[in-house]
Amino acid sequence: MKFSKIMGAGMMGVLLASLAAAGDKKDSAQMVDSGSLGIFINGRRIATESFSIQQTANGSNITSNFKTEEGVDKAAQTSELQLTPSGDIRKYEWKEVSPGKSMATVAPSNDYLMERISNGSNEKPEEQPFLLPASTSILDDYAFIHRQVLIWRYLATTCKQEKDGVKCPANQKTQFGAMNPHQRTSLPLTVEFSGRDKTSIRGTEREMNKFVLRSEGGDWTMWLDDHFKLQRILIASDNTEVVRD
């Protein structure tokens, strides 16, 4: 799906595609993006994230399934991020499948976000409030597709739709507030568009749109294709690379 369709619908949220394209049935779902991402450390594939992004008249759902490869300590987790039509958080749910059985949920509560954490026992979930609005971006550990959602928010708030395509101001930093439920932290960050850039993916050089996410945790360099779908992430400080299969 081209970004022009997203902007053409007048949706200033994260990934909001044209509702008309979802069909006449209000309950029908349109698949905006799906696939898998390979996670590499020092050139070795250590895990895979499978994801889907769906759009309905009631909002958007982003699902992620993370699983380590054979020969790596077994770990698996799932998550689902539900957004309203305006891009605000309706609910986020994260579950650890292995090696543990913990889970966490995030949802608006009055004027703030409430995270509830459970370790899988029958005990009452622990609650932790965050003085953050529902418009906060969720950027959880191992859910790399959340970074694509953040870039779409940047496109919707910072860039302009013109006849010959989307125009983003070069090197202009836009600040966002984000939350990492896995770490139970919030953080400010900036996103900037660095122009067109050639990068090598699986041995083939391609020219794509380059974006840089900057935070106290370091810089993430991301390349998205002409449909603004994530193709590669480079976290140089951790020798980590994420590549779409």
Domain locations along the chain? 3-244
Q: What share of the chain is helix, strand, coil (3-state, %, to 5)?
A: 10, 55, 35
Q: Lowest mean pLDDT: which of 12-26, 111-125, 226-240?
A: 12-26
Q: What is the pTM of this model?
A: 0.88
72 by DSSP, 3-state: which?
A: coil
Nearest C-alpha neighbor of 152 from the set 5, 30, 23, 48? 5
Locate tokens 């529902």: which residue?
A: 134
Residues 44-102: tens digit of each pLDDT: 999 999 999 999 888 999 999 999 999 899 999 999 999 999 899 999 999 999 998 89
The angle subtended at Cα 105 by Cα 100 and Cα 111, nearest 5°, is 155
Q: How far is CA 187 from the centre of its chain?
A: 15
- Cβ(137)–Cβ(146) under 8 Å? yes
Work out the burial of residue 217: count CB atoms within 10 Å of its CB; fewer than 13 is exposed, 13-18 middle, 19 or more buried: middle
Higher-confidence position of 40 and 56: 40
Higher-confidence position of 22 and 97: 97
